[in-house]
Amino acid sequence: MKKVMKVCMAGVVSISMLGACSFGKKEEPRNAALLIGEEQSLKEIVSQHKSEIKTNTLYKVKKAETGGKQLLIMERKTAEKMVEIGVLRESDNDNEVWSSDPIKSLPTAPKGKAVLLASKKNKKIKELTINEKKIEVQYASDTWFGHYRNSDYEELIVIVDNTTFNQIPVNETSMEILHFNKSYGEDRPYNTDDVTAVQAETEWKKLTKTMGSQVDVLDAVSIIKK
């Protein structure tokens, strides 16, 4: 199975890379990780790193692919928890620069439709078919997890009610949010001349080195509680 590990390139970012990583001054402490994988593997990770973890919370989600796009499907209650801790971030520009702010509330959709969080290029999507199950969606915003959208697992984030979630013919998987005891620098590119930033990056890589091989998705996120 393909492993997904989000990494924003270190060092000086060229102008051509601005669409992928941003040196903005937004608050983005790298103080948490989003993991998706088998529940037992997640439990083992928590046990192995309990001294570094402040809190950990397990959620059930579904992952699917349709039309060549990777979907992350969540129940509305799960998505609301993500909003509460600030890990879902919305773009603050129309220039494809990865600069964002935590969303303050979860968008709504008309009865019978799911909420679609995706890049603006996907805003015309009105319906998704997942293993022959058709779901009507309403585009809400350009929102993602972490510093930038990783299309390997969250090209489309679909938020549904409990009934629809259970009806989608895809096996559930587990998603864990680990909130660490400290911040490992900022969740953005860093300057290799910055000794403090380099040290934080080294510590982060050491912390997550074995995690990536135990799960399907490992993503750095910023917990910013309201």
Which pLDDT tens digit goes with each residue over 186-203? 998 888 999 999 999 999
pLDDT the model gives residue 11: 42
Average pLDDT in the chain = 90
For residue range 85-133, list pLDDT tens digits in order: 999 999 998 876 778 999 999 999 999 999 999 999 999 999 999 999 9
pLDDT the model gives residue 6: 54
CA distance 96 to 40: 37
Q: With CA atoms as reference, report the closest residue to 144 among 79, 68, 65, 224.
A: 79
Output the pTM of the full model.
0.88
**For the chain, which residues score pLDDT lower than 70?**
1-25, 96, 226
Tokens for 106, please give them: 């979860």
CATH number of the 26-221 domain? 2.40.40.60
